Amino acid sequence: MRILVVEDEKKVASFIKKGLEEEYYAVDLAYEGEEGLYLAENNSYDIIVLDVMLPKKTGLEVVKELRDGGVATPVLMLTAKDSVSDRVNGLDSGCDDYLTKPFAFDELLARIRALLRRGTKEKSVQLKVADLVMDLPTHKVTRAGRDIELTSKEYSLLEYFVRNKGRILTRTNIAEHVWDYNFDSFTNVIDVYINYLRNKVDKDFKKKLIHTVRGVGYTLKD
Ligand code: CA
């Protein structure tokens, strides 16, 4: 899953990016509102973490413009501790949730997981397809009860497939949700990672979950 973080305090921004990457998210950073708005309008993020007090455009202006432009990506707003009016205005402008600074990183992660659940029928912290189970807080993956060890990139690729089970995913879809802004589209890295994943998730099992859709991309189905 790919996250945009818009935060002008560079230390806080890089702390959040590093922490989210350790949790297997692909993360892009913007340090002011206009850049944040541009990135949010031109990329497919799964979540936007948006500070309210930003140079050039405030977080509230950014979320208003995004919603006016039809961008429905869930937004988690970061606000100052005592600013009730920011929180009220933020929620009224189209933010989905907020977190007051300073916050515990675990709470940020839990709120991100909650926002990712909102658009789906899946209300549990586990994702399941057939006998495959992904436990989101611990990143533990099992198939038919057997542990499957995945690297962070393999995990986030599998998570994207499982969240979109039954859908045909193009390489562009996959790049946009699993890799960050620095992804080089002139490589075959996606196919390479899908092979890694197949070796771990499908190879030793009779029933295959990941399927190639010739000329289009890939799909994961039960
Ligand atoms: Ca700020």
Q: And the tokens for 126?
A: 């586990």
pTM: 0.87
pLDDT in tens, 83-132: 888 889 989 999 999 999 999 999 999 999 999 988 666 678 899 999 99
Closest CA to 52 of 109, 12, 23: 12
Measure 6 CA to ligand 1 centroid, in angstroms: 9
Residue pair 141/148 in contact by the 8 Å Cβ criterion: yes
Environment class of residue 92 by beta-carbon count within 10 Å: exposed (0-12), middle (13-18) or buried (19+)? exposed
- With both helix axes pointing from N to C terminus, report the angle between 171-178 and 152-163 in degrees, rounded to the nearest 10: 120
Structural domains of the chain, with CATH? 2-117 (3.40.50.2300), 126-220 (1.10.10.10)
Measure 9 CA to ligand 1 centroid, in angstroms: 6
Mean pLDDT for the stretch of residues 174-193 = 89
Measure 118 CA to ligand 1 centroid, in angstroms: 27
Lowest mean pLDDT among 27-31, 78-82, 114-118: 78-82
* DSSP 8-state secondary structure symbol assigned to residue 181: T
Measure 53 CA to ligand 1 centroid, in angstroms: 4
